[in-house]
Structure formats: structure tokens, C-alpha cells
Amino acid sequence: EADIYQTPRYLVIGTGKKITLECSQTMGHDKMYWYQQDPGMELHLIHYSYGVNSTEKGDLSSESTVSRIRTEHFPLTLESARPSHTSQYLCASSESGTLNSNQPQHFGDGTRLSIL
Amino acid sequence: ILNVEQSPQSLHVQEGDSTNFTCSFPSSNFYALHWYRWETAKSPEALFVMTLNGDEKKKGRISATLNTKEGYSYLYIKGSQPEDSATYLCAFKFSGYALNFGKGTSLLVTP
């Protein structure tokens, strides 16, 4: 009963292509996040947003960019894909409230990206 | 990025066994500790969010405890079932937004 959707689930594409990974949620959450996970490694936060027109970089440096024009939509873009971008990307959202509220995060199924 | 350590890395138990695993995190600047279950080909699912030292939370056969002074949390599964097979992630929150995840404990429960 996922309320947060990511597309595509899998993407294999050549170097140099522009890629957009889609993430949408129907829960009305203001806070949204993008995580990157390499095999056998931890999830690392690469971008987050507190609401429309708010985006910030996470702890792990990433060449990707994000936008938040609508509450429900938080796409991630790679302008020119490279093999080093091969990874799994997970989108998440959490309930609104105060900045410091401790709500769990709700995750999408992820996108497995492979750059040839 | 603050280190969150989870042990063991993997665990294989028989159906009916009880099991537990550990999450260690920096004891300073503690804000919250999250536990998630991640089944293969699915999305991570929140189990618990704990904030206070001494917190104990329970959800069915799964429970968790928290010690913020010494920087650890235990996750217990009583009477493991094959459907409990998953990777269990803990994540430490030290500020308003960032969750620092461990690598997870991969649990396999065989009939």
C-alpha cells in the first residue's frame, strides 16, 4: 500500500545521457529526501526538501540536482550520467510538523541505476 | 557523517528461535534512533522511532530498547518466522533533518 512512488524501478543507460528519477507521494508530506546506496554500504542522504521551493544538499556530495515545484513531486536529475553514478536511489518523505519532529520516514521502492 | 555500527552483519536462525541485534551510535548530540525493516524487492518500512533514554517499544513479536548514555539500541525478535527475513536498519538522528544509517543486519529465518 505504498503512498510514495518511484519510477523507473530499473534503468540501464549509456554515459552522457540526461536522467530524471521521479518521486511522488500522496500523503501531503512537506519533507522529502533522496538517499543513495552503493552495494553493501549505508544509505546516504544526498538531497532533502522542507517544502515547495526548498532544497538542500545532504551529507554525501552528489552531482545530481533536485527540484520541488509541487508538494507531492521531488524529481532528481543527472545532467550527464557517468559510470560512477551507478547506484540505488531511494526517495522518502515524512510528516510535516516542527523542524525537529521525530516522525518516521516513508520510503519508495527505489531506482536501480546502471550507467554503462 | 557520523558512524552507526550494526552487528552482526548477518544472522541465520531457525524458525521459532529468538534473536537480537545491536546498533551502536555516538552518545553525544543524540536526537532520535530509528529502526527500519527492509525486505528484498520492497521499500524500507519504519518499525520504531525512539527518543528517550530507557525507551522500550514493541510491535508484535519485535521490540527495541534504547540506551542514549552509552550509545546503543537492541532489536529483539521473539519466535522468529520466515516472514521476518529482511535487513534491519538502524538510523541515528543528531540534528533536525539528517538520518545516519548503519549498513544493516541481514536476517534469514529458515523453516
**pLDDT of B70-109, one tens digit each?**
999 999 999 999 999 999 999 988 766 678 999 999 999 9
Backbone angles phi, psi at B7, to 5 degrees: -145, 150
The rounded distance, in Å, linking the Cα atoms of B32 and B91 is 8
The rounded distance, in Å, linking the Cα atoms of B47 and A104 is 8
Interchain proximity B1–A105, CB inside 8 Å: no
CB half-sphere exposure, B37, CA atoms < 13 A: 16
* Residues 6+ away with beta carbon under 8 Å from A39: none
Cβ–Cβ contact B32 with A under 8 A = yes
Chain A positions in Cβ-Cβ contact with residue B44 (cut-off 8 Å): 90, 105, 107
Backbone angles phi, psi at B83, to 5 degrees: -70, -10
pLDDT at B107: 98
A41 and A26 Cβ atoms separated by less than 8 Å? no
DSSP state of A84: G
- Provide mean pLDDT across the span A4-21: 96
Cβ–Cβ contact B31 with A under 8 A = yes
- Provide mean pLDDT across the span A44-70: 92
pLDDT at A27: 93
SS3 A7: strand
CA dihedral B104, A77, A56, B35 (to 10 degrees): -20
The rounded distance, in Å, linking the Cα atoms of B28 and A78 is 36
Closest alpha carbon to A52 in A25, A34, A70: A70
- Provide mean pLDDT across the span B38-58: 94
The rounded distance, in Å, linking the Cα atoms of B25 and B4 is 5
Q: Measure A14 CA to nearest chain B CA, in Å.
A: 24
Q: Per-residue pLDDT for A40 more than 90? A: no
Chain B positions in Cβ-Cβ contact with residue A106 (cut-off 8 Å): 46
Cross-strand pairs, B6 = B23
pLDDT category at B23 given cuts 50, 70, 90 is very high
Q: Per-residue pLDDT for A62 more than 60? A: yes
| A59 to chain B: closest CA residue | B1
Q: Which amino acid is at B98?
A: A
